[in-house]
Chains A and B, each alone.
Chain A
Amino acid sequence: MFTTLARIIKYGFQNFWRNGLVSFATILVLLLAVIVFQGMMLFGEIGRQAINAVQDKIDISVYFVSNAPEDEILKLKEALLTLSEVKSVDYISKEEALELFRERHADDPTISQAIEELEENPLRASLNIKAQDPNQYSLIAGFLEGDASQNIIQEVSYSQNQVVIDRLAKVLSLSRRIGVLLTLVCATVAIIISFNTILLAIYSNKEEIAIMRLVGASNAFIRGPYIIVGIVYGIIAVLAAMIIMAPFIYAASPYISVFITDMNLWGFFLGSFFKFLGYNLLFGVGIGVISSVIVIRKYLEI
């Protein structure tokens, strides 16, 4: 058993070296497929981060009447936090709101002076609510309308921003679907091209396969070396793709941070290097092996 396996591996590597040009061409095509796959993974992450960044900017604010007791506001905050749709709730007291207002307008002496001249804090306490998903803001707004704290609520920003939030939610949901569709299309194209290249590579050996059968080689003995070659193709293509892509990711990282503030593409690449490598190997070696198995099957039929 071990001897047979060792012989199959030996013939696999022998086929790889002796069909140098075919091996090179197949690796090139597989390399392109792996680069497309890597690109899809990276764009997927960039898209996810971009959507998160936009999502983080959406919230609804609940403004309270000026004499609303703080404990009732905090009670409402607790009630909101029990909802599964709610991601976070931030309480901003009247004093904090004034402080934020002063900071925001520190460069504008007219406004700063005007606020100092007022004897009373004109700003209201508020709760800033973020939903798990932008589609859930209408549910949260509905909860607020039906809550017993109606008497202390002066205004909910959702009704004013409803159209914008709903439209944004639809755009985000559509972007996700388009992303998945694009990924599927690109992956399918890459798989079909790689499969056909391996098919042609093995087709050029069909005479050899027939001879192997005539001298009594078992199906495993014929198929094995081609599977080994498929694995070698996949590994080389993935390693080459990683080496080619790394400098591009490094160079692109600062530019992407300009558009998506929290995004560090190079950091993501390094942080998930082994996960990234694993998925790529699964993809590259998977195509190599599955294509070889399917193609060789055709020539082993009696």
Chain B
Amino acid sequence: MITFSNVSKTYNNHEVLRDISFKIEPKEFVSLVGRSGAGKSTLVRLLIGEDKPTKGRIVFGPYEINKLQGHELPEVRRRMGIIFQDFKLLPKKTAYENVVFAMEVAGRSEEDIDEAAPQSLELVGLGKKMRNYVHELSGGERQRVAIARAMVNQPDVIIADEPTGNLDPVNTWGIINLLLKINELGTTVVLATHNKDIVNQLEHRVISLDDGMVIRDEDKGKYILT
């Protein structure tokens, strides 16, 4: 489903990613771990087409991401659900409108939207707050809206870049459990994190990055960076 082949990325003569290669199969739950600056976020940016690699090839389903033109990206992104540490919600919209926006840009019908948008918000536990504006929600609730938005179009993969970075432990586990539930329903999940506790308790595949290189790739792996 996702293949990185000898991918490198250089910014101002500094190599941020070096010769990265791995494959992620459908329905996998993969944690990308590493210290701050290890290259996790750069890797995510390359995967979602926000940036292009200096060398190498990135394939997602039928798309060769590194060769896509700007106007081809929206179609690919509608097949990905993306979650960020800072939520990236549209600030002047309600929770419901944020979810609906993702459906409308994907060209979903009004009937679909009326049915799936509330369902998706119910699933993340925000049924009663769906008409609240983003600024009226707590950090944990905002991240739940981001998850509802990410999954509402039934994407092939959920890519979460430090989704719990701004949350307390209770909300952190709430979000991780939601991601696990989404994965159990058959969606691939790629989780970039530096939270050791989460990774060690998940017991799923772990790809460890250090100084821009993959130093470990293990099934049922642990957070080990040495």
Contacts and interface: CB of A to CB of B under 8 A. Distances in A.
- Asked if A and B are interacting partners, one says yes
A302 B105 contact: no
Interface stretch (B11-19, B33-41, B70-78, B124-132): B70-78
Which of B91, B109, B153 is most buried by chain A, counting CB atoms within 10 A of its CB? B91
B71 A219 contact: yes
A215 B101 contact: yes
A7 B107 CA distance: 10
B51 to A, nearest CB: 9
A191 B104 CA distance: 34
A215 B70 contact: no
Nearest to A10: B104
A114 interface: no
A221 B90 contact: no
Contact of B70 (A7, A18, A217, A302): A302
Interface in A199-247: 207-208, 210-219, 221
B149 interface: yes
Contacts of A18: 92
B213 interface: no
A300 B91 CA distance: 19
A221 B104 CA distance: 9
B102 interface: yes
A117 interface: no
B106 interface: yes
B105 A216 contact: yes
B91 A217 contact: no
A219 B70 CA distance: 9
Contacts of B199: none
A212 B89 CA distance: 9
A207 B102 CA distance: 16
B48 interface: yes
Interface residues on chain B, size class: 20 to 34
Label chain A's interface by main secondary structure.
helix
Contacts of B76: 216
Contact of B106 (A208, A210, A214, A216): A216
Interface string B153-175: 10000000000000000000000
Given A213-B74, A301-B70, A218 B105 contact: yes
B7 interface: no
B105 A212 contact: yes
B82 interface: yes
Given A4-B107, A7-B104, A212-B105, A218 B74 contact: yes
Interface in B82-126: 82, 88-92, 101-102, 104-107, 109-110
B92 A214 contact: no
A19 to B, nearest CB: 7
Interface in A1-19: 3-4, 7, 15, 18-19
Interface string A287-300: 00000000000001
Contacts of B78: 215-216
Interface in A157-173: none
A217 B149 CA distance: 13
Given A18-B92, A19-B92, A217 B105 contact: yes
Contact of B88 (A7, A214, A218): A214
B75 A216 contact: yes
B91 A208 contact: yes
A208 B102 contact: no
Nearest to A214: B82
A18 B134 CA distance: 14
A14 to B, nearest CB: 8
Given A7-B104, A211-B88, A218-B74, 14 more contacts: A3-B107, A18-B92, A19-B92, A211-B89, A214-B82, A216-B75, A216-B153, A217-B74, A218-B105, A219-B70, A219-B71, A219-B74, A300-B70, A302-B73
20 contacts: A3-B107, A3-B109, A3-B110, A18-B92, A19-B92, A207-B91, A212-B90, A213-B74, A214-B82, A215-B102, A215-B149, A216-B74, A216-B75, A216-B78, A216-B106, A217-B74, A218-B71, A301-B70, A302-B70, A302-B73
Interface of B: 48, 50, 69-71, 73-78, 80, 82, 88-92, 101-102, 104-107, 109-110, 149, 153
